[in-house]
Amino acid sequence: MTPEEASVFTEKLCRTAPVIPVLVVEDAATAGDLAAALVAGGLPVLEVTLRTPAALDVIREMAKVEGGIVGAGTVLTRADAVAAKEAGAQFAVAPGATDKLLEACEEIGLPILPGAATSSEAMKLLERGYRVQKFFPAEANGGAPALKAIGAPLPQILFCPTGGVSPTNAMDYLSLSNTACVGGSWVAPKDKVQAGDWAGIEALAADAAKLG
């Protein structure tokens, strides 16, 4: 898979819904119900971060949910990319980008949304062929004003800002011409997941789906 082909896929992904839920799931037993609630609420693209021992099992379970498009986040190495794809991930998301990671995803045919925090990082990715990128950590790097400023000289790059994005500032990003969607964890709060409050999570997803 070429970077250009990956960008076609990730652009379509990012334009599917205004918010991509960023999910840190501790128990794979909750994965199916969680994914079903988010999909039912209008957020079909799901990013499962590889931050818990259960993450790969969570991806396997969520991949079974009809209508869901499940990917792996916090993909840092070739091994992460391979394991994620074998578990059923349709895409990868990284907080940054290294040549080794990009090469691995290209070789195994796993579309990646690579992270950039500066104009130089964004330009390097664009030079390689990645015109759809993750802006991370968004709020810590100046928020929507910074992303707007980066977009002025680099209008050909489309971003998914993640990190500190919330219901109160999501529209600041989504109103920018270089933002296709945002990534956020607020649609699946830990207390609601632990309580099995799937109706509550579906309601949060429905509200998020109306943004933008």
> Which residues are part of the catalytic machinery?
47, 134
Tell me the HSE value of 107 on the side-chain side, using a 13 A CA sphere: 10
- In the chain the beta strands, taken as DSSP E runs, fall at 19-23, 45-49, 69-73, 92-93, 112-113, 115-116, 132-135, 158-161, 182-184
Tokens of 48: 């499962």
**What's the Cα-to-Cα distance from 204 to each of 40, 62, 76, 196, rounded to whole Å?**
11, 19, 29, 14
Per the CB < 8 A criterion, the answer to whether 96 and 117 are in contact is yes
H helix or E strand, kind and range, residue 56: helix 55-62
Cα 152 off chain centre by = 23
> CA dihedral in degrees (37, 112, 82, 183; nearest 10)?
-30
Are 59 and 35 in contact by the 8 Å Cβ rule? The answer is no
Q: Point out which residues pair with 189 in neighbouring strands.
A: none
Question: For tokens 């956020």, what's the residue?
Answer: 184
